[in-house]
Amino acid sequence: MFKRNQKIEVVPESAYTDFSHRDPSDAYATRKDLAIAALAPVALGAPFVAYRLINTPDTYTAATIPVTAPIVEPVNVIAQTTPPPTTLPIELSSVATPEMIPTGFIADSSLTMIANILDPLVQIMVAFSFPIASVIMTGACFFFMFNNSEKAWDVIMKAGLGYVLFQLMPMFLEILRQVGEAV
């Protein structure tokens, strides 16, 4: 009763449209169209990056080291040398013990140097996180249109989590720095 012998008929495009509304030069995307489409997220995200970079607090200070060493005239060293002693006198009080060696200076300066090098990179990643996450979330909305809501929610959740972690990255690095100083 419900089964009918339906014959599938293929209708050519010319039967239902003549594409008269289209310009023949716009029928396909050109390289120029693709380049503009690829640069659109960058153009939309550039103001956010510029705002973030301009409005960050100035945490960098230029360290200037004054040089006050006197100028010394060169001296003929060869004429004033004395013959080396046959034995080297070593006093027990001059031998450094582990308690006497200053520690932490190299670690502190290298930690400061690494922090100064990585801080601009961290700021750039924090500034770029919003435009990139928004583009990813917008792209995930297409999965809803294609009836794939599970993948859409998965992509949106991962993009949101990535954005939050990028925003919290400076705080995590500060916690790591304080833990390193405490150890």
Does 19 fall in a domain? Answer: no
Does 97 fall in a domain? Answer: no
| Stretches in the chain below the pLDDT threshold 70 | 1-4, 18-29, 56-108, 111
pTM over 0.85: no
**Structural domains of the chain, count:** 1
Q: Tell me the CA distances in angstroms from 106 to 77, 103, 109, 113, 130, one per residue in order.
A: 33, 7, 5, 10, 37
For 38-91, write each residue's pLDDT tens digit.
Answer: 888 878 888 877 777 787 665 555 556 666 666 666 666 555 556 555 555 555
Q: What is the domain extent for residue 161?
A: 105-183
Does 88 fall in a domain? Answer: no
DSSP state at residue 70:
P
Does 122 fall in a domain? Answer: yes
Does 62 fall in a domain? Answer: no
Whole-number Å distance between alpha carbons of 126 and 57? 14
Q: Tell me the CA distances in angstroms from 53 to 50, 105, 110, 121, one per residue in order.
A: 5, 32, 25, 11
Does 9 fall in a domain? Answer: no
Are the beta carbons of 163 and 133 closer than 8 angstroms? yes
Whole-number Å distance between alpha carbons of 166 and 127? 9
Whole-number Å distance between alpha carbons of 122 and 119? 5
